Amino acid sequence: MQHKKLWAAAFLAIGTAMVPAASAIAGAGIFPSPIISAEISSTDVAETYPEGNAYAVCRLNIRDTPEGNVLRTMDQGEQVKVKGYEGDWAILDEGYCYGAYLADAWTKELSIESTSQECARYTGYIYGLFADLPELCADEVADYDIYLCKADEIPVGETVIGLTHTNELKKEMWVAVEGQEDVQHIFYHEAGHAVDQSHILEGKTAPSGTEDFIKAYDAEKEIIPGTHGLLEREEYFAEAFFRYMAEPEKMEQKCPATLRALDKMFYPDENPQ
């Protein structure tokens, strides 16, 4: 049987053994259920760890000291108060827990795996980015198995920093995190591909193929910088999706038709035809 396949690799101008899912570091934390790049300066993901209210993205142990005795195990989605950090360990009123598996928001469980403990440090951050997605497309992204990895571990035969693969048997999103400066950009770009491809797989019109978006693409495709928009409409959609999530104010100024087209897609009740 032939299966429909959809591949989308992002070629950003800025540029495999899996770690077991969901409990290895709940014994010390967890390792939950991975674009051509130029020069990259790495940003330590610890800078994104949540302060104040935070949520456990898995069952997560609270210890009396970092790597010490387990006092109790938090439930997935449980809220805690973070007072500070000692390295990767969050300081709570009750003790310590592994900060990489805390997020600043929680909506639902994702299938996230990592190729190393270093890559797994981005898990809570990805959960936080996911929580900001519009409700109408969040379920489509949640259907994907998300792999956090290094760029040379993405199974595409060349060094890329993001890949979305969709067919009737599986949906995969690979996000290079280790050594990358803008993981938010990579994740939201690939999430845009996931939303687009999910519609095609279901026999629906892809968001990138709607009348409003085609008009916006034709009018504004050279405004969004980078090679994505100049290649094809699907890449423009993925890049526009990132900018919609990360910098809508700039879209309002530079590509308002694209912004309006996305608003109509994701918030139709607030943006009637």
Q: Exposed e or buried b for every residue in 201-233, given b needs 16+ CB within 10 A?
A: beeeebbbbbebbeebbeebbeebeeebbeeeb
Task: Please state, in angstroms and rounded to a whole number, the distance separating the CA atoms of residues 241 and 23.
Answer: 33
Q: Residue 138 to residues 108, 188, 271: CA-CA distances in angstroms?
A: 10, 11, 19
Do 163 and 7 meet the contact criterion of CB atoms below 8 Å apart? Answer: yes
* 96 within domain boundaries: yes
Q: What is the model's pLDDT at position 112?
A: 96
Q: Residue 100 to residues 7, 82, 213: CA-CA distances in angstroms?
A: 30, 12, 37
Tokens 């990895």 -> residue: 149
pLDDT of residue 28 exceeding 90: no
pLDDT of residue 257 exceeding 90: yes
* 108 within domain boundaries: yes
Q: Are residues 72 and 195 in the same domain?
A: yes
Q: Determine how many CB atoms are found less than 10 A away from the CB of residue 272.
A: 6
pLDDT tens for 131-177 read 999 999 999 999 999 999 998 898 876 678 899 988 878 899 999 99
Q: What is the model's pLDDT at position 27?
A: 34
Tally of domains in the chain: 2
* 273 within domain boundaries: no
Q: What is the model's pLDDT at position 160?
A: 84
Q: What is the model's pLDDT at position 159?
A: 73
Question: Which of 251, 263, 130, 268 is CA-nearest to residue 194?
Answer: 130
Q: Are residues 243 and 109 in the same domain?
A: no
Question: What confidence tier does 25 reach under pLDDT thresholds 50, 70, 90?
Answer: very low
Flag the least confident range among 1-5, 34-38, 199-203: 34-38
* 65 within domain boundaries: yes
Q: Are residues 94 and 147 in the same domain?
A: yes
pLDDT of residue 219 exceeding 90: yes
Q: Are residues 146 and 232 in the same domain?
A: no
Do 126 and 110 meet the contact criterion of CB atoms below 8 Å apart? Answer: yes
Q: Are residues 222 and 183 in the same domain?
A: no
197 burial level (CB within 10 Å; 0-12, 13-18, 19+):
buried
Q: What is the model's pLDDT at position 228?
A: 52
Q: Are residues 215 and 153 in the same domain?
A: no
Which helix (H) or strand (E) covers residue 131, if one does? helix 123-131
* 271 within domain boundaries: no
* 111 within domain boundaries: yes
Q: What is the model's pLDDT at position 18?
A: 38
pLDDT of residue 260 exceeding 90: yes
* 187 within domain boundaries: yes
Q: Are residues 93 and 222 in the same domain?
A: no
Taking residues 100-119, report their average pLDDT.
Answer: 95
Q: Are residues 242 and 191 in the same domain?
A: no
Q: Decide which of 201, 221, 250 is a domain's last residue.
A: 201
pLDDT of residue 115 exceeding 80: yes
Q: What is the model's pLDDT at position 199?
A: 80
pLDDT tens for 35-80 read 222 223 335 788 889 999 999 999 999 999 998 999 999 999 999 9
Q: Residue 201 to residues 5, 7, 92, 207: CA-CA distances in angstroms?
A: 9, 12, 44, 12
Structural domain containing residue 260:
207-266
Q: What is the model's pLDDT at position 214?
A: 96
Question: What confidence tier does 225 reach under pLDDT thresholds 50, 70, 90?
Answer: low
Q: What is the model's pLDDT at position 40?
A: 31
Q: What is the model's pLDDT at position 13?
A: 27
Start-to-end CA distance of the chain, whole Å, equals 41
Q: Are residues 22 and 155 in the same domain?
A: yes
Q: Decide which of 155, 185, 201 is a domain's last residue.
A: 201
Question: Which of 234, 200, 29 is CA-nearest to residue 117?
Answer: 29
Do 267 and 256 meet the contact criterion of CB atoms below 8 Å apart? Answer: no
Q: Are residues 174 and 112 in the same domain?
A: yes
pLDDT tens for 182-200 read 899 999 999 999 999 888 7
* 272 within domain boundaries: no
Q: Decide which of 201, 229, 246 is a domain's last residue.
A: 201
In the predicted model, what is the mean pLDDT of the chain?
A: 82
> DSSP string spanning 32-101?
-------------GGGGS--EEEEESS-EEEESSTTS-EEEEEPTT-EEEE-EEETTEEE-SS-EEEGGG
Q: Are residues 89 and 221 in the same domain?
A: no
Q: Are residues 187 and 230 in the same domain?
A: no
